[in-house]
Structure formats: structure tokens, C-alpha cells
């Protein structure tokens, strides 16, 4: 992997320096993310991502950003699950098996990571490779190990 990365960054990657033999690989996994996403923030993130994608891919789609927010809030506040013989209401976050859980979590993590990179622009030059799938983040860092440990600890 390092051999491919040494050639430079790919389109869409942070425009930092290419990974080298001294680059530090890292991975981050958010523990118990699904049940801990605040409903309002998660709905805002999902609606904002929908608005952006709608504008780029299907501007004539009738579903608005406000509609998406309302749909996500309705689903979030009306999700039930069973535990043994009991039927319970989801009180925060989203249930892992809920129909919109993956989109909800993906939109939330996208917004979180984007906000971090905007607030900390110096990290873009230290991360020649940064990939995310839902709550899993993988990358290479061109910084001292203590700086990478700090980033992973955020």
C-alpha cells in the first residue's frame, strides 16, 4: 500500500504530501455510535447531505431539505424494537437495524469529519490518505506518532 501512496495523492484526497516509509497508519472506530447520535443533529446532517446531493445529482427531485429533516425526525422518534417479549421505544440515536440507520450514521460522521478538517486545516497536509466507512476511519499520517495519537484520540 505504501508503494502506491508514495506516488502522490489521488483526486479527492487531502492535498498533503504522499505517504512515505515513515508514515504512520491508523484506524479509528467509534464505539456504540448508532445509539448515541443525537436525533436533532443527526437529522440536520442527513438533511444537509440530502440537499447537497440533490443539488448535484437530481435538482428536480420534489423532496426538500426540510422534508428530509422531518422524515428523519419522524422515523427517529417513532422507532421501536423488541427486547425479549417487551416492545420498547428508541429514546436516542438509532437502532442498528432501522431502515435509515446507515444513512443517518453516514451523514452524521461525514459532517463530523468535515467539520474537524475545516476547523483544523493543518491536518489536511498531514493525512495523505484518509478513508471512512460509516464509523470506521483509516489513513496514513505524515506527522510524529504523538500527533497521530492525538488525532486518533479526538
Q: Which of 137, 132, 126 lies closest to 14 in space, CA to CA?
A: 126
Query: pLDDT tens, 121-135?
Result: 777 777 888 888 877
pLDDT, residue 4, reads 45
3-class secondary structure, 28 = strand
Better pLDDT: 71 or 14? 71
Cell of 93: 440515536
Does 7 have pLDDT greater than 70? no
Query: pLDDT tens, 62-120?
Result: 999 999 999 999 999 998 888 899 998 888 888 777 888 889 988 998 898 888 888 87
Confidence class for position 137, pLDDT limits 50, 70, 90: confident
Does 147 have pLDDT greater than 60? yes
Amino acid at each position: 500500500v505504501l508503494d502506491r501512496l508514495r506516488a502522490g495523492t489521488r483526486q479527492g484526497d487531502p492535498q498533503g504530501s504522499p505517504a512515505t516509509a515513515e508514515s504512520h497508519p491508523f484506524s479509528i472506530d467509534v464505539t456504540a455510535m448508532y445509539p448515541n447520535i443525537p436525533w436533532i443533529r443527526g437529522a440536520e446532517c442527513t438533511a444537509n447531505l440530502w440537499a447537497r446531493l440533490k443539488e448535484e445529482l437530481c435538482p428536480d427531485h420534489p423532496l426538500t431539505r426540510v422534508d428530509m429533516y422531518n422524515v428523519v425526525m419522524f422515523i427517529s422518534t417513532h422507532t421501536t424494537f423488541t427486547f425479549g417479549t417487551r416492545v420498547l421505544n428508541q429514546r436516542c440515536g438509532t437502532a442498528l437495524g432501522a431502515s435509515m440507520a446507515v444513512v443517518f450514521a453516514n451523514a452524521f460522521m461525514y459532517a463530523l469529519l468535515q467539520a474537524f478538517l475545516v476547523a483544523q486545516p493543518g491536518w489536511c497536509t498531514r493525512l495523505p490518505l484518509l478513508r471512512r466507512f460509516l464509523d470506521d476511519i483509516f489513513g496514513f499520517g505524515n506527522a510524529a506518532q504523538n500527533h497521530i495519537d492525538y488525532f486518533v484520540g479526538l
